[in-house]
Chains A and B, each alone.
Chain A
């Protein structure tokens, strides 16, 4: 891999913006992305494939009398950038004016963010990744012969972004990420477990493949022995994987200013009110040291920041990008996000942090008389994104009785509403880790509808 070139990226962005202004745009913004990643893939117990993906591109947003147009290309040449500008202008001319449009963001005061770039990653050889992939695979297989690592891999990537606009923003940031993961099942005759999963993701090359392999295998193995559970209202301990899925599909939308302004959020008008148990404090922290979603600035070049969302159960703020912030005559919280150069900015959480409590996971389990430990959810994406209703399958999950895990269970359904669930949180453990956008420990909730098979 080659390290990204700051000057070249900013210069391309600047040229595109200049061209847009000269062609009649009232405002313009260019977003330039350069990324490269190497991956080693595991399928059914062996390393079978490796890949290298280079992805570069430029996206240009132009505003013409409050009409917005956007175009992108993955050809990183000056001529293509010029073509993109004219396409963006075409799109803007065809669009209708947006009376709510104010202006692109101006320049802000950027803070440093630590441990987001590892110079070793652009230099990393596929052989090093291969060695770690094999380490992960062996660690899984060595746990028990009945475990099959069905899928997984290890990858390392770097990405650099530059944002330049006609309102003074000119910024560049680069980052790296390394991830390894493995999905396992355990098989004993006709008894096949649901898929279990473990993962390690770091901004520096500090993943722990042996731990991932071993844990994923241990979880699958413990899911072999299973019994049905009964239908009732019960207690749950929700692990990070399950919590991430649930919050992403039912709760994060309600925090976005766009949803609030468009009357799609049950949290509208509830700032300062109690919306969750007093144990709950949520922060959105775009500058978190080593955070998977940490960066100096957001997708519009607005500085990342730390925003308190819920403090001891009380709703404090929502998440804003430039557009929704200007609508309310306030500052953006730096939550504009893009999935690469192809997309326009949209509001997204950065690192969504759940303030940890004091108890260890073991203590949490030991205090549950009757409940389920939920690791993975199936179907969280089919939840109601507006009102927070969910009806999902927890599979596998583990039955806790008298403070101990007694057996696993499959196909149990959990039904409820996320806003009620947040009020029913009775415990927060201290084992924080990051999964996707979520940085959280285990969370204990009560009074959730559990639909079993007996």
Chain B
């Protein structure tokens, strides 16, 4: 039965791609748009993905799900305006019809356009990207995946009687994506991602707590090797129980020490989004800021799509541009922005490989990849010892950025710092501030380093990593309900 499952994928993929006429049809579609409609640029993104999703609640697999998602996205630039169409079909007649739609819509849009869109020139690639993993999730029987998730659940609920619920969500994606452009790009890329989110809640005398952890990788099922499921389960359970004793923090301005997990999301929310060039253009906060001091000298930050196995890594982005390591801040000075071909043209720079589309239903937009602050030289003790009264925020639950530079990061695990030492746990604090003020207040940077996987929402969901070392910030607005 288990081999059957695997075979059915193989059969399916052959059915589609042995049909060489599909690839031939793509060439015809490109010609149709450029020759019949006069499109300046055309791209075809085709996807053929298999997904396995499992949702487990207290060891009961509520959902064991297998899905096939395949389809085509067509994007044309015609008279300076974008037209986009997508369909879950490889039928040439359907695709030809929606290509017409995309061209006609672009044409209609262009009539009102004041500033026509142009694309930065790029080298085009013909490439086949094969990913080799020790444990391709497509080859692992679903029963084994369920058993692995059961181990996480077992460790969480077995940790302490006060733990009442545990939800384990699991997703793996395997398949292939294709990128064809009228400029000659012909890229075929394997796609592999494994993701899991575990949440647990504990209850004691009417106090409810909650703890969450995510796993994400573009390697294979190796992320669950050995005793990793148990280690993960214990981490989540321990946090939920500790939080039972936690008190709400006092709101106000305090010195804070932030863990790598919080530093990552801070760089992502407080700075990363503002340096996505489309948002830079909208807010204007970082317009003309290249070369300007924006942060303390201790802050160096990159967005890197090339880290092996990291959740935000890939070889080519969804405009066929190779991923790269893009410097955003070097020693406090703005070093670059994240671009797609459209914004790169506007800024007169090269695209950085940040154009990503969640799937074929949507167009590529500028997204982060793996965003992090570089470590320096302090130990955690050194960071803590300078703080007389403040907070240590270790892990976050969510964050959000605003175009005026206001950021917010909700904290799931935090502690008081009293006279340089860690004190009692605090529950559900959050930190906020304005990027342009806060990054100058980074006064010490640790020597450790950790990347955490996450999912970023910007209309579409993107798999990313955020990270960095521990840092100390002189002063930050802490939201807490205690008086």
Which residues on A are within 8 Å of B, measured CB to CB?
A: 38, 40-41, 43-44, 46-57, 68-76, 80, 83-84, 86-88, 90-96, 98, 100, 126-127, 130, 134, 148, 150-151, 185, 187, 192-195, 231, 233, 258, 262-264, 266, 342, 344, 378-379, 381-387, 389-393, 395, 410-411, 413-417, 449, 451, 453
Q: Are B83 and A387 in contact (CB under 8 A)?
A: no
- Can you list 8 contacts pairing A with B, beta carbon distance less than 8 Å? A43-B278, A50-B83, A53-B361, A263-B164, A378-B432, A379-B400, A381-B410, A393-B408
Task: Give, as a whole number of angstroms, the nearest-CB distance from A197 to chain B.
Answer: 11
Knowing A194-B402, A387-B208, say if A379 contacts B64 (CB, 8 Å). no
Bound-state Cα–Cα, A381 to B117, Å: 35
Contacts of A47 in B (CB 8 A): 81, 109, 112-113
Complex CA gap A418/B106 in Å reads: 46
Known contacts A381-B398, A386-B210, A413-B432: does B251 contact A231 (CB below 8 Å)? yes
Q: How far is the CB of B475 from chain A (nearest CB, A)?
A: 11
Complex CA gap A55/B206 in Å reads 45
Please indicate which of the listed interface residues A148, A383, A410, A413 has the most CB atoms of chain B within 10 Å of its own CB: A413
Chain B residues lying within 8 Å of A192, measured Cβ to Cβ, are 283-285, 403-405
Interface residues of B in 452-483 (CB under 8 A from A): 477-481, 483
In the assembled complex, the Cα of A377 lies from the Cα of B101 at a distance in Å of 38
B85 contacts which chain A residues (CB < 8 A)? 51-54
Taking CB atoms, residues of chain B closer than 8 Å to A344 are 55, 62-63, 65
- Contact B363 A389, beta carbon cutoff 8 Å: no
B123: Cβ under 8 A from any A Cβ: no
Q: Judging by beta carbons under 8 Å apart, are A264 and B201 in contact?
A: yes
B164 and A391 within 8 A (CB) = no
Instruction: Write the chain A residue with the least CB distance to B143.
Output: A94
In the A-B complex, list the 7 residue pairs whose CB atoms are closest, starting with the nearest.
A382-B410, A382-B398, A379-B408, A74-B88, A451-B251, A413-B479, A49-B82
Contacts of A393 in B (CB 8 A): 400, 402, 406, 408, 430, 432, 479
Residues of chain B lying within 8 A (CB to CB) of residue A379: 398-400, 408-410, 430, 432
B124-164 vs A, Cβ < 8 Å mask (1 yes, 0 no): 00000000000000000111001000000000000000001
Partner of A194, one of B404, B477, B480: B404
Judge if B235 is at the interface, Cβ distance under 8 Å: no
Q: Which residue of B lies closest to A91 (CB)?
A: B64
Could you say which residues of chain A place their CB within 8 Å of the CB of B404? 185, 192-195, 395, 410
Query: A386 to B400, Cβ gap below 8 A?
Result: no
Return chain A residues, CB-CB under 8 Å to B87: 53-54
Mask: chain B, 86-120; 1 = CB below 8 Å from A; 0 = not? 11110000100010011011101100111101000
User: In the complex the two chains form, is A74's CB within 8 Å of B70's CB?
Assistant: yes
Among B87, B109, B397, B433, residue most surrounded by chain A Cβ atoms (within 10 Å): B109
Cα of A94 to Cα of B143 in the assembled complex, Å: 5
Report which of B65, B248, B398 forms a contact with A71, defined as CB distance below 8 A. B65
Cβ-defined partner of A130 (8 Å) among B109, B206, B209, B403: B109
Q: Contacts A94-B143, A382-B399, A391-B480 known; A44 to B281 CB distance under 8 Å?
A: yes
- B403: contacting residue among A54, A194, A262, CB under 8 A: A194
- A48-B82, A233-B483, A264-B165 as given contacts; A71 in contact with B406, CB under 8 Å: no
Q: Are B477 and A411 in contact (CB under 8 A)?
A: yes
Residues of A within 8 A of B19 (CB): none
Q: Would you give the shortest CB distance from A98 to chain B, in whole angstroms?
A: 5
On whether the beta carbons of A378 and B400 are closer than 8 Å, the reply is yes
CB distance from A62 to the nearest CB of B (A): 10
A423 CB, nearest partner CB in chain B, Å: 14
Cβ–Cβ < 8 Å partners of A87 in chain B? 5, 8, 66, 68
Contact of B5 among A53, A73, A90 (CB under 8 A): A90
Q: Which residues of B contact A55 (CB under 8 A)?
A: 88, 361
Q: Is B434 located at the chain interface by the 8 A CB criterion?
A: yes
Contact with A along B403-420 (1 / 0, CB 8 A): 111101110000000000
What B residues does A453 contact at CB under 8 A?
253, 477
On whether the beta carbons of B398 and A52 are closer than 8 Å, the reply is: no
Complex CA gap A169/B61 in Å reads 25
Given A187-B284, A194-B406, A50:B251 Cβ within 8 A: no
Q: Are B98 and A54 in contact (CB under 8 A)?
A: yes
In the docked arrangement, what's the CA distance between A73 and B89, Å? 11
Chain B residues proximal to chain A, CB less than 8 Å: 1-2, 4-5, 8, 12, 55, 57-58, 60-71, 81-89, 94, 98, 101-102, 104-106, 108-109, 112-115, 117, 141-143, 146, 164-165, 201, 203, 206-210, 248, 251-253, 278, 281-285, 361-363, 396-400, 402-406, 408-410, 427-430, 432-434, 477-481, 483
CB distance from A209 to the nearest CB of B (A): 14
* B109 A74 Cβ-Cβ under 8 A: no
- Contact partner of B88 (CB less than 8 A), chosen from A75, A126, A151, A392, is A75
Question: Given A70-B63, A192-B283, A384-B210: A51 and B363 within 8 A (CB)?
Answer: yes
Q: Does the CB pair A75–B70 fall under 8 Å?
A: yes
- Which residues on the B side are within 8 Å of A264 (C-beta)? 164-165, 201, 208
Report the minimum CB–CB distance from A136 to chain B (whole Å).
12
Closest-CB distance, A97 to chain B (whole angstroms): 9
Residue of A86, A148, A258, A382 with most chain B CB atoms under a 10 A cut-off? A382
Assess whether A134 is in contact with B112, with CB atoms less than 8 Å apart.
yes
Give the residues in chain A near B477, CB-CB below 8 Å: 411, 413, 451, 453
Are B88 and A52 within 8 A (Cβ)? Answer: no
Q: Shortest CB–CB separation between residue A195 and chain B, in angstroms?
A: 5
Residues of A within 8 A of B115 (CB): 46
Complex contacts, B208 vs chain A, CB 8 Å = 264, 266, 384, 386-387
Is B402 a contact of A395 with CB atoms below 8 Å?
yes
15 additional contacts, CB 8 Å, given A193-B404, A387-B428, A410-B404?
A49-B363, A52-B84, A72-B67, A74-B68, A74-B69, A91-B142, A94-B2, A96-B146, A379-B432, A387-B208, A392-B410, A393-B402, A393-B432, A395-B402, A417-B481
Cβ-defined contact, A195 with B403, below 8 A: yes
Q: Are A130 and B283 in contact (CB under 8 A)?
A: no
Knowing A51-B85, A148-B282, A411-B433 are in contact, say whether A69-B64 is a contact too (CB < 8 A): yes
Distance of B98 from chain A, by nearest CB (Å): 6
| Contact among A70, A80, A98, A134 with B60 in the assembled complex (CB-CB below 8 Å) | A98
How many Å from the CB of B20 to the closest CB on chain A? 19
Residues of A within 8 A of B63 (CB): 68, 70, 344
